């Protein structure tokens, strides 16, 4: 049955509504895909919720043309947020209110955000496993690479000593942009300025290899890139060492080419599962690289 709604550019005052909408969309997806009882609603710590809002405001500031919402008489019913860095288009957020999905709202939102990327040579999406999302991305010309996740509590007695890693700062942004370009043909640019204020940053800068990792509030990587596997492995261990023994740690969106990270997870006795896809257009899965879900 047809229903009335319209698309419009997202505004700053939409951010709290978009936050609720995406939380509902993903909780509903968890309910549909979870086997064995109801999943827990995804609880975000105050720090993580603050980071989510900060990221959204940053994208609205730098990529207003990529941020779209759908609205009907009841309020916001959908969102798509995309960014462009160098010549790469990246999808940061995409959800339609449960109950209104599968009726074409998502297609219109994705088309609007893809228009923003016209002229881009490459595209990246950290995709959920929702068949509706996967159908949309395939029809938009993305190749869907199945990904894995590693979760669990880090056993402190298994952590190796890591020596070459140091704490980083905004003075490392040039270094990080050059690692990005080497690994995925596209710098994070302005995103590093934001991420360096939100996450602890660790860096390796040696003639034998360079790289960086942002560390999640509870430990584990938010984003990691390096020029070789040895450097990436050391950075990953450093992010795991930052986890607390009581909080589970997660490494998500692992593409199969990043076996070095699977190996670290197995040594650390984390649980390996399949989870979602890395959607790519015009590029191969980057290596060694653990993408951020929002800035990839």
Residues that bind ligand COA (CB under 6 A): 25-26, 29, 94-96, 101-107, 127-128, 130-133, 135-136
Number of C-beta neighbours around residue 164 at 10 A: 17
By beta-carbon proximity to ligand COA, the closer residue of 243 and 292 is 292
User: Rounded to an integer, what distance in angstroms lies between the CA atom of residue 250 and that of residue 244?
Assistant: 12
Q: How far is the CB of 170 from ligand COA (least distance, A)?
A: 30
By beta-carbon proximity to ligand COA, the closer residue of 203 and 251 is 251
Q: How far is the CB of 80 from ligand COA (least distance, A)?
A: 8
By beta-carbon proximity to ligand COA, the closer residue of 94 and 237 is 94
User: Rounded to an integer, what distance in angstroms lies between the CA atom of residue 181 and that of residue 153?
Assistant: 33
Question: Which position's Cβ is nearest ligand COA?
Answer: 106
How long a stretch of residues is the chain?
A: 296
Q: How far is the CB of 221 from ligand COA (least distance, A)?
A: 19
Q: How far is the CB of 11 from ligand COA (least distance, A)?
A: 20
By beta-carbon proximity to ligand COA, the closer residue of 62 and 103 is 103
Tell how far CA 129 is from the center of its chain.
Answer: 14
Q: How far is the CB of 276 from ligand COA (least distance, A)?
A: 7
Number of C-beta neighbours around residue 199 at 10 A: 20
User: Rounded to an integer, what distance in angstroms lies between the CA atom of residue 68 and that of residue 8?
Assistant: 6
| N- to C-terminal Cα separation, the chain | 36
By beta-carbon proximity to ligand COA, the closer residue of 29 and 114 is 29
User: Rounded to an integer, what distance in angstroms lies between the CA atom of residue 62 and that of residue 233?
Assistant: 32
């Amino acid at each position: 049955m047809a229903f009335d709604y319209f698309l419009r550019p997202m505004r700053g005052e939409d951010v709290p509504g978009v936050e609720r909408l995406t939380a509902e969309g993903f909780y509903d997806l968890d309910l549909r895909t979870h086997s064995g009882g109801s999943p827990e609603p995804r609880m975000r710590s105050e720090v993580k919720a603050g980071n989510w809002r900060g990221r959204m405001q940053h994208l609205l500031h730098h990529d207003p043309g990529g941020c779209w919402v759908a609205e009907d008489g009841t309020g916001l019913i959908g969102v798509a947020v995309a960014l462009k860095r160098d010549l790469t288009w990246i999808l940061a957020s995409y959800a339609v209110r449960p109950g209104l999905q599968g009726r074409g709202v998502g297609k219109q939102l994705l088309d609007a955000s893809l228009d923003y990327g016209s002229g881009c040579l490459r595209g990246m999406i950290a995709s959920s496993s929702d068949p509706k999302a996967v159908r949309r991305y395939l029809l938009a010309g993305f190749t869907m690479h199945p990904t894995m996740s590693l979760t669990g509590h880090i056993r402190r007695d298994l952590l190796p000593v890591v020596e070459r890693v140091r704490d980083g700062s905004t003075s490392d942004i040039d270094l990080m942009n050059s690692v990005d370009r080497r690994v995925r043909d596209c710098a994070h640019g302005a995103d590093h300025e934001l991420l360096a204020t939100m996450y602890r940053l660790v860096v390796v800068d040696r003639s034998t290899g360079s790289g960086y990792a942002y560390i999640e509030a509870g430990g584990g990587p938010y984003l990691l890139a390096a020029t070789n596997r040895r450097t990436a492995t050391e950075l990953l261990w450093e992010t795991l060492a930052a986890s607390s023994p009581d909080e589970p740690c997660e490494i998500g969106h692992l593409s199969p080419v990043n076996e070095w990270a699977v190996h670290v997870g197995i040594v650390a006795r984390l649980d390996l599962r399949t989870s979602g896809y890395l959607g790519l257009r015009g590029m191969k899965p980057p290596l060694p690289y653990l993408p951020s879900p929002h800035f990839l």
